């Protein structure tokens, strides 16, 4: 499990799980400690991600936010990159 703090109100709790054909990442977006959105991404491999959980983080933000808020949180995720 890994927790990403997006700001003072939002955090994303990410997990991975084995599946029959590979694995999956799950993300649970929480606002002030309460779950507001969940999503998952299934993988056979994830060689295209810049960092672990990148795709599922973008997906949960895109699922919950719209417009300028979505752009704001996508930029925060981009800034989480280790390089």
Q: What is the pLDDT of residues 33-59, one digit of tens each?
A: 999 999 999 988 766 777 889 999 999
pLDDT of res. 60: 98
Query: Rounded to 5 degrees, what are φ and ψ at 60?
Result: -70, -35
Which residue's structure tokens are 């949180």?
73
With 0.85 as the threshold, say if the pTM is over it.
yes
In the chain, % helix, strand, coil (3-state, to 5) comes to 30, 40, 35
Q: What is the DSSP letter of 60?
A: H
pLDDT of res. 28: 98
For the cut 70, the answer to whether the pLDDT of residue 80 exceeds it is yes
């Amino acid at each position: 499990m890994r927790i990403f703090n997006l700001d003072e109100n939002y955090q994303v709790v990410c997990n991975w799980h084995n599946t029959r054909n590979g694995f999956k990442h799950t993300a649970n977006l929480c606002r002030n400690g309460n779950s507001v959105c969940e999503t998952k991404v299934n993988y056979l491999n994830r060689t295209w991600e810049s960092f672990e959980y990148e795709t599922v983080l973008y997906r949960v933000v895109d699922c919950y936010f719209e417009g300028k808020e979505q752009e704001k949180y996508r930029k925060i995720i981009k800034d989480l990159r280790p390089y």
